[in-house]
Amino acid sequence: FIYLLTGKRIKFKILDTEKLKKEELDELEKVKSHHEQGLAFARPQGWGLKYDRYEYLHESEKMSFNSSGRVTTADGREIDFNLSFNVSREFIREETLSIRAGDALIDPLVINFENSSASLGDRNYSFDIDMDGNLDTIAFTSYGSGFLALDLNNNGIIDDGSELFGPKSGNGFEELAVWDHDKNGWIDENDEIFNRLRIWTLDEAGNKTLLALGQAGVGAIYLGNVRSEFGLKTQTNEQLGQIRSSGIFLKETGEVGTIQHIDLTI
């Protein structure tokens, strides 16, 4: 049958491990060991570091000199003079340092359907956002904002970070862009995922709930974004998260809202 499909004759051999030489068995063990090491290396490290430093130095200096007058010499001659000069210098230096280590930090997308920008409440919630099987302590979005989510197993619950956009790779916008099948730069009703997307948010009573995009008035999400660093802190200056980048979405009313990439402190 394979010959009819491919035109090639293929010989199959049933491997009898009892007849393998000891050297062959040792080689198989080495291959197995290397494979297991590779899997172990691919597993999350359980920690992550992202450090960005930007330094800007600007120096400028100007000096003006002006002298004028009249000099009368010993022989009675008068000399009028007017001398002036200007000197200036300017120095600009910019330095950027970025360090990444360990796992990618936890960066879910937050969509602000009733707020202009994301904010985090100071109430803690338990949720396995880094998908390591253990519950993490995170701050949840304030009312009017929520995490963009995809309920993969359709159980009506966001089980862990794998059902959000960002925790897996560290870039939620890139993860969302994979679903832009018509490549128009938007996630809209022409993309299969649009009707499956949910906003994981808190209702007015503080209970977690899932909203369809249409329920929140979201018409289309733009995949472009720009860097927009801003710290999200409590009134006592405790760090809850950090806004990293911001984009926009169109509301069904024709208005524009924001969607943001946020590092959560866990």
pLDDT tens digits, residue range 50-79? 566 778 888 887 877 676 778 676 788 887
Same domain for 135 and 235? yes
Is residue 133 a part of any domain in this protein?
yes
Same domain for 90 and 132? no
Is residue 39 a part of any domain in this protein?
no
Q: What pLDDT shows up at residue 238?
A: 82
Is residue 24 a part of any domain in this protein?
no
User: What letter would DSSP give residue 105?
Assistant: P
The residue among 237, 219, 263 whose CA lies nearest residue 118 is: 263
Q: How many domains does the chain have?
A: 2
What is the dihedral angle through the alpha carbons of 188, 190, 195, 196, rounded to the nearest 10 degrees?
-90
Q: What pLDDT shows up at residue 128?
A: 92
Is residue 122 a part of any domain in this protein?
yes
Least confident of 24-33, 95-104, 107-116, 160-169: 24-33
Is residue 5 a part of any domain in this protein?
no
Are 219 and 252 spatial neighbours (Cβ–Cβ below 8 Å)?
yes
Q: What pLDDT shows up at residue 36?
A: 46
Per-residue pLDDT tens for 193-222?
Answer: 999 999 999 887 878 899 999 999 999 999
Domain boundary among 95, 124, 158: 95
- Amino acid 253 reads T
Please name the helix (run of DSSP H) or strand (run of DSSP E) that holds residue 36, with its range, or none.
Answer: helix 22-42
Same domain for 238 and 145? yes
pLDDT at 169 over 70: yes
Same domain for 77 and 138? no
Is residue 208 a part of any domain in this protein?
yes
- pLDDT band of 23, cuts 50, 70, 90: low
Q: What pLDDT shows up at residue 5?
A: 47
Is residue 226 a part of any domain in this protein?
yes
User: What letter would DSSP give residue 206?
Assistant: S
pTM: 0.62
Domain boundary among 42, 63, 95: 95
pLDDT at 41 over 50: no
pLDDT at 185 over 70: yes
Same domain for 126 and 173? yes
Same domain for 58 and 166? no
Average pLDDT over residues 92-113: 75
Same domain for 90 and 128? no
Task: Give the integer Cα–Cα distance in Å for 146 and 240.
Answer: 15
Q: What pLDDT shows up at residue 170?
A: 86
pLDDT at 103 over 50: no
Q: What pLDDT shows up at residue 237?
A: 83
Range of the domain at 66: 53-95
Same domain for 232 and 257? yes
Residue 117 exposed, middle or buried by CB count within 10 Å (0-12, 13-18, 19+): middle
Q: What pLDDT shows up at residue 191?
A: 95
Q: What pLDDT shows up at residue 197?
A: 96
Same domain for 80 and 209? no
Is residue 151 a part of any domain in this protein?
yes
Same domain for 154 and 235? yes
Same domain for 150 and 253? yes
- SS3 category, 119: coil
Distances (CA, A) of 36 to 28, 33, 42, 43, 156: 12, 5, 10, 11, 35
Same domain for 85 and 214? no
Task: Give the integer Cα–Cα distance in Å for 205 and 264.
Answer: 23
